[in-house]
Structure 1
Amino acid sequence: MRLLTVCLLLLGLAAPAAAAPLTVEDSGGTHTFQAPPERVVALSWSLTEQLLNLDVTPVGVADPEGYRHWVVRPALPEGVADLGLRQEPNLERIAELAPDAILISDDQRAFLEPLARIAPVLHFETFSADHDNLAASRETYQRLATLLDREGLAAERLAERDARLQELRERVRAHFDGDPPKVTVVRFLDEARLAVYGGNAMSTFALEALGLESGLPQPDSKWGFAMLTLRDLARLTEGVLLYIEPVPKGAEQFDKPLWKALPVVRAGNVEALPPTWSYGGVFSVVYFAEAITDALLRLDPQ
């Protein structure tokens, strides 16, 4: 009997301890998971970006082709299921995927209840006029890392991100001999209107990380931009103008007299930025900073 008891004790010591439940907070409260979710659905492009930067490929995302066209980085692997539009996700298709967790942003809040009948839903409010969007995005990334048991990887990636931004800042400063120009970042919306990025925009956080100022500052807002016209750009009398590709059909302004008459255009201080998502996660600041640096290094420092 004593031998049997000892054997049972030894077996108990050898057995692996049960994993502790994972607790993670979203914008609505606290959620508990018994294990890291393996099948994750993301209905927001910024959350898709955050997952990919944790080396997690979602089983399905909203509008994957739109992501590949507008967001681009990090690359979305082939084979990820198309779950419809971000503003109108396909609930039936999501249910067929049998996800362990569904990630949404404000655009999908109206679908929270039906989604919750499929799987646990985590809602992250990354963009708001009431907070710093970059700080909120960084916090979201860390919370997702907790959910997916990848906190060590997240810490490494964030450290690499911060070091990369410092490296780019030094390159820009050296190119302009310590006196860089002001930089204005815009996106053509259509033939008549542009988004001019200002306070709380990821592109503006990139400018700040590079030690740069905007030539056409805009107040803080939820999405970080003001809608202006091409004529408004006549107020831009110094610095560099950078526009984000792709340019929508019908917004090719570059042969128009008004465009050619702009002071910044006449000075030859206009460059294109490759497709970079203006409403991305914490790493979109690096993507913007890299694109801005490359564009500025193409200019004569004068």
Structure 2
Amino acid sequence: MLRLAAILSLSLCLAPPLAAQDDPPSRVAALSWGLAASLVALGVDPVAVADVEGYRTWVGTPALPEGTRDVGLRTEPNLEALAEAAPDLILVSDQQADMEPALRGIAEVWHIEGFDAGQDNADAARAALRDLGARLGRGAQARDVLAEVDARVAAAGARVRDHFDGAPPPVLPIRLLTPTTVRVHGANGMALAALEGMGLTHPDPGTPTEWGFVQRPVEDLAAFEEAAVVNFVPFPARDALFDTQLWSFMPFVRGGRFAEAGPVWTFGGPVSIATLAEAMADALLTLDPEVAR
């Protein structure tokens, strides 16, 4: 408690005056990777981001500017480092909700709702980008970003349909976690939003969940006999799974319908939908269209 009190005291000393509502903030920090990506897409260089190296490993694009200040973990940001960055606006998502009182001692905090089973996550992300653009005085840029997202997704789908001569297989997006567990991305997920925008189909999207995925044993993938399976990398334990008999007998492995994509963040904002679409298209184009039918 004493350390937290000291940090809050330091934060109050270092915090700049809050920007007036009609004076767009110029120094913005983001404690969510998705919100950091949205800032960069709007042409705003964040003054601080939580876990910069993690962003570069798992998100990749849009790239953070060189020298972006790292303020620690997304779940436990370093308040002293954040205060030293002197933001006038801090963007947080649900993951940082319990820290908002402490963060308000540094600067204005804007909580942008994240993922929820009761909403359409892709539509909510688009609305959040429009709201963020309006708050930062970049409403026109937000509209341009969304138009570009739609164009990129459509173009990615056209590439896939052309590669498969108009008859692409159903596509199952996954993220292998360990040699025994996998996330299967489906209803209410950004990967499915990308597939639908591309004009492609999912073999079994299931029911909507908060994050748009279900975690399953790897052996459950054997049920997808006709689908092309796209795994989002990185997957550090690849050799421990790919060298097994279980994996070699998967129908999509034997049928030449397995490909890898990324790195790309599956829990980002609208820009991630375009990046997901392009990454999946690039992966699917590595498959032999005849073998993969």
TM-score (structure 2 length as normaliser): 0.89
Residues 1:298 and 2:286 aligned together: yes
Name the structure 1 match of 2:203.
Answer: 215
Letter in 2 for 1:130: G
Name the structure 1 match of 2:256.
Answer: 268
Name the structure 1 match of 2:171.
Answer: 183
Tell me, yes or no, if the aligned pair for 2:100 and 2:109 is still in contact at 8 Å. Answer: yes
Where 1:283 maps in the other structure, the secondary structure is helix
CA distance in 2, matches of 1:256, 1:49: 37
The aligned runs of 1:97-246 (5 Å cut-off) are: 97-246=85-234
CA distance in 1, matches of 2:252, 2:237: 23
Q: In the TM superposition, what is the alpha-carbon distance from 1:293 to its structure 2 partner?
A: 1.1
Which ranges of structure 1 fall in alignment gaps of 5 or more residues? 1-30
Q: Of 88, 93, 101, which residue of structure 1 is paired with 2:81?
A: 93
Q: In the TM superposition, what is the alpha-carbon distance from 1:250 to its structure 2 partner?
A: 6.7
Structure with greater Cα Rg: 1
Show CA shifts across 1:166-208 (max 9, x none): 2222222222222210010111112210000000111111111
Where 2:242 maps in the other structure, the secondary structure is coil
Where 1:277 maps in the other structure, the secondary structure is coil
Tell me, yes or no, if the aligned pair for 1:185 and 1:203 is still in contact at 8 Å. Answer: yes
Aligned residues: 272
CA distance in 2, matches of 1:80, 1:252: 35
Tell me, yes or no, if the aligned pair for 1:104 and 1:123 is still in contact at 8 Å. Answer: yes
Residues 1:56 and 2:66 aligned together: no
Tell me, yes or no, if the aligned pair for 2:29 and 2:89 is still in contact at 8 Å. Answer: yes
Residues 1:257 and 2:257 aligned together: no
Letter in 1 for 2:101: E
CA distance in 2, matches of 1:134, 1:251: 34
Letter in 2 for 1:90: N
Name the structure 2 match of 1:70.
Answer: 58
Letter in 2 for 1:76: L
Which ranges of structure 2 fall in alignment gaps of 5 or more residues? 1-18
Q: In the TM superposition, what is the alpha-carbon distance from 1:300 to its structure 2 partner?
A: 2.1
Q: In the TM superposition, what is the alpha-carbon distance from 1:80 to its structure 2 partner?
A: 1.1
Letter in 2 for 1:61: V
CA RMSD of aligned residues (A): 1.5
Tell me, yes or no, if the aligned pair for 2:155 and 2:198 is still in contact at 8 Å. Answer: no
Tell me, yes or no, if the aligned pair for 1:197 and 1:218 is still in contact at 8 Å. Answer: no
TM-score (structure 1 length as normaliser): 0.87
Where 1:130 maps in the other structure, the secondary structure is coil
Tell me, yes or no, if the aligned pair for 2:92 and 2:110 is still in contact at 8 Å. Answer: yes
Letter in 1 for 2:253: V
Of residues 196-205 and 249-258 in structure 1, the stretch that sits farther from structure 2 once superposed is 249-258
Where 1:33 maps in the other structure, the secondary structure is coil
Q: In the TM superposition, what is the alpha-carbon distance from 1:32 to its structure 2 partner?
A: 6.0
Letter in 2 for 1:99: P
Q: Of 271, 280, 286, which residue of structure 1 is paired with 2:274?
A: 286
Name the structure 2 match of 1:26.
Answer: none
Where 1:118 maps in the other structure, the secondary structure is coil
CA distance in 2, matches of 1:61, 1:168: 30
Among all aligned residue pairs of Structure 1 and Structure 2, give the percentage whose two residues are the same amino acid: 46
Where 1:253 maps in the other structure, the secondary structure is helix
Tell me, yes or no, if the aligned pair for 1:218 and 1:226 is still in contact at 8 Å. Answer: no
Tell me, yes or no, if the aligned pair for 2:256 and 2:288 is still in contact at 8 Å. Answer: no
Of residues 229-238 and 174-183 in structure 1, the stretch that sits farther from structure 2 once superposed is 174-183
